[in-house]
């Protein structure tokens, strides 16, 4: 069998395959890129491995929406298409907000804490424990210190 290089009328043009990841990095004139895009639309070239950005731009949605949809199972995707489920489920209700803090300063100044002198503290301890209890505590502390 002889091989012939002559195209016949029954021979269809095989579409050129273009990797979508390389489109953003392709260095060419805008007119050349427009011709390549026209080839894709006319079926003379086929896009392989489409990117999220390319699919989002083609469908007119955000990249985040496409990323969210990719996390869904096929059944969940069908439910979203039918309108039975939202793409992003609402979060559980958070705790009720705390009461607002008054922004107005109080009319009276706060009372500073009472500063107690050494004698006042000793008088308070004696009133609470008793004189004998204080003497016993002092004796016990002197024994442990010695």
Q: Where are the domains of the chain?
A: 16-82, 117-146
Whether pLDDT at 143 is above 80: yes
Q: In the prediction, which pLDDT does 10 show?
A: 55
Highest mean pLDDT of the ranges 6-10, 36-40, 73-77, 115-119? 73-77
Distance CA 91, CA 38 (A): 44
Confidence at residue 71, expressed as pLDDT on a 0 to 100 scale: 92
Instruction: Tell which wins on pLDDT, 41 or 84.
Output: 84
> Percent helix, strand and coil across the chain, each rounded to 5?
45, 5, 50
**Could you tell me the pTM of the whole model?**
0.47
Residue-wise pLDDT tens digits, 87-108: 888 888 777 777 776 666 666 7
CA 53 – CA 64 distance, rounded (Å) = 10
């Amino acid at each position: 069998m002889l091989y012939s290089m002559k195209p016949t009328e029954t021979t269809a043009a095989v579409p050129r395959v273009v990797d979508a990841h390389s489109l953003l990095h392709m260095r060419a004139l805008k007119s050349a890129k427009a011709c390549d895009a026209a080839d894709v639309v006319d079926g003379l070239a086929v896009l392989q491995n489409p990117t999220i950005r390319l699919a989002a731009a083609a469908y007119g949605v955000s990249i985040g929406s496409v990323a969210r949809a990719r996390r869904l199972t096929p059944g969940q995707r069908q439910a979203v298409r039918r309108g039975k489920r939202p793409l992003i489920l609402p979060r559980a209700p958070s705790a009720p907000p705390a009461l607002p803090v008054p922004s107005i300063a109080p009319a009276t100044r706060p009372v500073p804490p009472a500063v107690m002198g050494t004698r006042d503290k000793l008088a308070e301890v004696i009133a609470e424990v008793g004189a004998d209890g204080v003497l016993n505590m002092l004796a016990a502390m002197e024994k442990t210190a010695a």
